[in-house]
Amino acid sequence: MTDPDPTHVVADADVLVADLLVGGPAREALDHVRRHSWVDLVASDALLADAEAAIAALADDGLASDWRERIEDERVAVDHPPDDHPGLASAYQSGAAHMLSFDETLRSAKTGLSIQPYQGLSVRTPDAFATVFDAESLYDATQEGEYPGPDRDPRA
């Protein structure tokens, strides 16, 4: 097992949808990612397709299409086998240390034990991630120099 990359974050489709349509903890968590150019949101095409379909079903096709176009530029793309769970596979293929999900089965002890031998992945709810995210400590551990603070507008 290689060390997970703490600067790679995967948001499952439910979190991506909640970020756009609801806000709250999902938006707060993903704003931490968007505020820092050295933290990456990782997502496969399949993961984005799942979120896009949910947005279209809950809102409309135009919003879903606009969201997909924008997030294509914001994410780090990864590929994975078609039968894999899009969120977990995005995390595994990118070596991500963090996955955000509302799905209790993904956050269960059973799932955690099954993936730990292969990947040091932490699956958390968005509010739990937002609570523990410490940009300055993460910067110190992964980057050179002094932490400059947020370098992007999360709403831009």
Q: Which domains does the chain have, with CATH numbers?
A: 5-141 (3.40.50.1010)
Mean pLDDT of all residues in 109-131? 74
- Tens digit of each residue's pLDDT (9 = 90 or more) over 54-108: 999 999 999 999 999 999 999 999 999 899 989 989 998 999 999 999 998 776 5
pLDDT at 70: 96
pTM over 0.85: yes
Alpha-carbon gap, residue 104 to 81, rounded angstroms: 23
Q: Tabulate helix, strand, coil % of the chain (nearest 5).
A: 50, 15, 35
Q: Which residues contact 60 (CB under 8 A, 6 or more apart)?
A: none
Residue 151: exposure state from Cβ atoms within 10 A (0-12, 13-18, ≥19): exposed
Is the confidence at residue 109, as pLDDT, over 60?
no
Average pLDDT, the chain: 91
